[in-house]
Structure 1
Amino acid sequence: MIATQPTKKELSLGFLGVGWIGRNRMEAILNNTGAKAAAITEPDSENCDAAKKSAKNAILKTSSEALFAEKDLDGIVIATPSAMHAQQSMEALKAGKAVFCQKPLGRTAEEVEQVVAASREANKLLSVDLSYRYTKAFKAVYDTIQKGEIGDIFAVDLTFHNAYGPDKEWFYDIKRSGGGCVMDLGIHLIDLALWSLDFPEIKDVQSRLYHKGQKLTSFEEHVEDFASVAMTSEKDQAINLECSWHVSAGKDAIIEATFYGTKGGASFKNINGSFYDFKAEKYHGTQTETLVTPPDEWSGRAGVVWVENLLENDTFDEKTATQFIKTAQVIDRIYGR
């Protein structure tokens, strides 16, 4: 009798929203895993046609409810406007599907907590596209910190300036977006900082939020396009965030996360204003050591990792789910919620 190698199950996925980001995530998953795109839901016919070029055998479902009702789907990839994320994630989880959702998972911590509760109840894996975690450059910084190479971290500087800002009007409506540049951009860097510091409790948050240079006191009419936030952890670590849309930065974007420790420093930063090219550096006194430089095809990697995790174990992950809640709670405090 000939022994045969066990074959891994082919995952069957549904894709809810295949605009630019949704299509990018779908193509990354199809190109780098054995998963197949079995079904797609997308209201825009042009987006549908573009997605079908990569997912020729996918069936089109006219509603999210019809998509979630597909019995053979193992997971759902959600790339819809932010206001829909929490409800759609909960419905997919209740239908017994694992979920990979674009950030933010919810517009408030309460929404995130509700999604996590649905994930726990369904015992299905929930992941969020916190994409910068999966860049080679940030992984090098994270590993440097975890190995203790720069000592105990006492300060973190986070910067994300986007000279353009979103091109869809719903981003500028807090009821639909949950917030402005902090919710859109800052969430990534807050996650990177908290993750690297093992998610300490944040004991103090002071935020200054602006719209077109005027300090915001209400979000009824406007969301912030510039934010300066000072946070202090339970270990008295200073975490400072500055982020913006449409700022005159002299380049397309400035994206940096720099960690200062008792033995040195480490930094993740974009190169020449790029949204895609990143390097990692380690500092000792006046000396700079380059850890990672481009190229790195990281866009969509978070979805690939989700698929790999699904194949290993598709059940609820308490640790990462708790992290999603903690980050959302910090953002709520930045907005004074």
Structure 2
Amino acid sequence: MKPRIGFLGTGWIGRHRMEAMVATGAIEAVAFCDPSDACAAEAARVAPEAARVDSFEALLAQDIDGVVIATPSALHAQQSIRALQAGKAVFCQKPLGRTGAETQAVVDAAQAADRLLGVDLSYRHTQAMEHIAGLVRSGGLGQVFAVDLTFHNAYGPDKPWFYDPEQSGGGCVVDLGVHLVDLALWTLGFPPVSGVDARLLSAGRPLAPGQVEDYASAQFTAGDAQVRLACSWRLNAGRDAVIEAAFYGTGGGAALRNVNGSFYDFTAERFDGTATTRLADPPDAWGARSAAVWAEQCARSLAFDAEALQFVRSAQVLDGIYGR
């Protein structure tokens, strides 16, 4: 039998993850919960056989094997833990927790329940990044000694809770930088991290109490590599977005870059001296691929996967950037 999945939150992100999971044919969408009638109507279009319920507890009371969580960040950890304690596998939007401690608590709950835990770290699943990770891990770039990470967004979130540090856990770092940190550590094989140092700004000034950062620069050492990170909201970047993850080694370099300011189109290139070789080009329908991968993994096994332990490693780096 296919795993039976419930969906908590069916806004734009939640609905697209639902679509991707249903499209795999690996799971059955049987229930969803969203207070918005408009969002619920769109969810019903994607999964017409799914029942709409009016609360998270009612969703957990359904005959389901897993829950997909797409709610505000402040709710992720407690909702994930509640679902895991109820014996459900979980796929959660990032960040899994606002802090390393929250993230650790969720992973501990998954391990105790022996249930699969996934996080929507979507950039891992771009074809461009898969090419680059393969090069790094095979030794194709030699010893990687430097990683440069960038995510500048000319826009910013449109919901007020993003700007409340109690609800969001931070600003552009926890929103965008979480993807960059994950890409670096995942590609490098999650080596030990040390020497985290950062500067966080709001409107060009150091943060005041109650503010979240809209620009951040950070650096840290991951294994043998020096990692530099920059991310922002509403930067005067001359385009919608500037996104890059570049890896430089003793035997060559490689970079993922967005195309013409796009949030969705990426290339991968390898560098050898002054020569460049293209590894991947758009189009690539990667946006909800992480959800599809989790759905297919559910169909194979609902048991805990030790790769979830890595979520804590990335969250601890973010703690270092925030100085907590």
TM-score bin, normalised by smaller chain:
over 0.9
| Map 1:283-298 → 2, pairs under 5 A | 283-298=271-286
Q: 1:234 to 1:295 in 2, by over 3 A?
A: closer
SS of 1:86's equivalent in the other structure is helix
Return the alpha-carbon distance in structure 2 between the equivalents of residues 32 and 252 of structure 1: 31
Residue in structure 1 matched with residue 180 of structure 2 by the alignment: 189
Partner residue of 2:2 out of 7, 10, 17: 10
Contact 1:33–1:304 (CA under 8 A) maintained in structure 2: no
Return the alpha-carbon distance in structure 2 between the equivalents of residues 231 and 68 of structure 1: 40
Partner residue of 1:278 out of 258, 266, 271: 266
Return the alpha-carbon distance in structure 1 between the equivalents of residues 33 and 178 of structure 2: 27
Moved more, 76-85 or 196-205: 196-205
Partner residue of 1:260 out of 248, 252, 256: 248
- Runs of 4+ in structure 1 over 3 Å off: none
Residue in structure 1 matched with residue 35 of structure 2 by the alignment: 43
Asked whether 1:176 is paired with 2:167, we answer: yes
Contact 2:215–2:233 (CA under 8 A) maintained in structure 1: yes
Deviations 1:16-37 (A, max 9, x none): 0000000011011112233221
Code of the residue aligned with 1:221 in structure 2: it is G
Return the alpha-carbon distance in structure 1 between the equivalents of residues 305 and 47 of structure 2: 29
Deviations 1:147-177 (A, max 9, x none): 1111010000000000001111111111000
Residue in structure 2 matched with residue 215 of structure 1 by the alignment: 206
SS of 1:298's equivalent in the other structure is coil
TM-score normalised by length of structure 2: 0.98
Code of the residue aligned with 1:227 in structure 2: it is A
Return the alpha-carbon distance in structure 1 between the equivalents of residues 23 and 287 of structure 2: 12
Shift of 1:234: 4.2
Residue in structure 2 matched with residue 323 of structure 1 by the alignment: 310
Q: 1:310 to 1:17 in 2, by over 3 A?
A: same
| Map 1:63-212 → 2, pairs under 5 A | 63-70=55-62, 72-212=63-203
Deviations 1:282-324 (A, max 9, x none): 0000000000001111111101100111121211112x22210
Deviations 1:208-266 (A, max 9, x none): 000000022x4x3210000010112343x210000000000000001100000000001
Code of the residue aligned with 1:248 in structure 2: it is N
Residue in structure 1 matched with residue 18 of structure 2 by the alignment: 26
SS of 2:130's equivalent in the other structure is helix
Asked whether 1:227 is paired with 2:227, we answer: no
Residue in structure 2 matched with residue 6 of structure 1 by the alignment: none
SS of 1:250's equivalent in the other structure is coil
SS of 1:37's equivalent in the other structure is strand
SS of 1:46's equivalent in the other structure is helix
Return the alpha-carbon distance in structure 2 between the equivalents of residues 285 and 169 of structure 1: 47
Contact 1:252–1:274 (CA under 8 A) maintained in structure 2: yes
Shift of 1:84: 0.4
Return the alpha-carbon distance in structure 2 between the equivalents of residues 76 and 33 of structure 1: 17
Return the alpha-carbon distance in structure 1 between the equivalents of residues 165 and 316 of structure 2: 17
Code of the residue aligned with 2:267 in structure 1: it is K
| Map 1:244-259 → 2, pairs under 5 A | 244-259=232-247
CA-atom RMSD in angstroms: 0.9
Code of the residue aligned with 2:108 in structure 1: it is A
Return the alpha-carbon distance in structure 1 between the equivalents of residues 308 and 131 of structure 2: 24
Moved more, 240-249 or 57-66: 57-66
SS of 1:266's equivalent in the other structure is strand
Residue in structure 1 matched with residue 323 of structure 2 by the alignment: 336
SS of 1:179's equivalent in the other structure is coil
Code of the residue aligned with 1:295 in structure 2: it is P
Return the alpha-carbon distance in structure 1 between the equivalents of residues 312 and 243 of structure 2: 24
TM-score normalised by length of structure 1: 0.95
Return the alpha-carbon distance in structure 1 between the equivalents of residues 302 and 223 of structure 2: 33
